[in-house]
Amino acid sequence: MSALRFYLSSSVMKKQVMGVTGLLLCGFLVSHLAGNCLIYVGSDVFNTYAYTLISNPLIYVAEAILAIIFLAHLGLAIKLTIENKTARPQNYYIKQKTGRGATFASSTMPYTGMITLVFLILHLLHFKFGPLYMTTVDGVEMRDIYKTVIEYFQSPLNVAWYIFAMISLGIHVSHGFWSAFQSIGFNHPKYNCLIKCSSKAFGVLVTLGYSALPIYCYLQGVK
């Protein structure tokens, strides 16, 4: 029993939980991007997709689970960062470059994580709780979220902020994806290179995939 209690309070367990929640959030990023790409098809398709999600009673359960996953990931990240700072209150006087040293992505994880948090809050305020427009598709009245999105991205400043946040998110997941596998014990010389390359590719996919959306929306308004 004492061994179990020790494990549950150990940094190993915290890193493993943070890794699992991180991978789950990466899965959400892919599914959310796929849904957002329907905006390229047209307003009716995009609005119908959004209406189908919102009108499903299970959406509240899904949102609650997603919120728990995100808060657990955020809370553990903060806790581990504080514990690491406490264990090593002073930075190394000289940082030696080695093949296993910290990368830009790994050393900026707390900062890119905070940028992502700020982005998420603003994202919810601007879209989920943003201006409410209504439209009718095939006789069904629904929210015109397409108009809300297009309108928001008519500001070049909003477009620039969104792309900046997506670059930050891409940097964050480019390390986090690989680190998650390390944390859960999936660490083998045979696969490490593949995982690292996949992690970087995933970061690029997230950055380019999400950054293309505001640019497209901006161009829709200037036609």
Q: How many angstroms separate the CA atoms of 32 and 128, rounded?
A: 14
Region 84-101: what's the mean pLDDT? 55
Pairing of strands 140-143, 134-137: antiparallel
Weakest mean pLDDT among 19-23, 81-85, 95-99, 186-190? 95-99
Q: In this structure, are residues 116 and 70 in contact, taking their beta carbons and an 8 Å threshold?
A: no
Residue with the bigger pLDDT between 10 and 149: it is: 149
Most confidently modeled range among 128-132, 186-190, 210-214: 210-214
Can you count the helices (H) and strands (E) in the chain?
9, 2
CA angle 134, 162, 43 (to 5 degrees): 30
The number of residues in the chain equals 223
pLDDT exceeds 80 at position 167: yes
pTM of the model: 0.86
Query: Given this model, what pLDDT does residue 185 score?
Result: 77
The string of DSSP codes covering 94-120 is: S----TTS--HHHHTHHHHHHHHHHHH
Looking at the DSSP bridge assignments, the partners of residue 134 are: 143
CA–centroid distance for 150 within its chain: 22
Region 117-129: what's the mean pLDDT? 95
Residue 74, amino acid: L
pLDDT exceeds 50 at position 28: yes
Query: Given this model, what pLDDT does residue 103 score?
Result: 87
* CA proximity to 120, closest of 198, 66, 174: 66
How high does pLDDT run on average in the chain? 87
Band of pLDDT at residue 89, cut at 50, 70 and 90? low
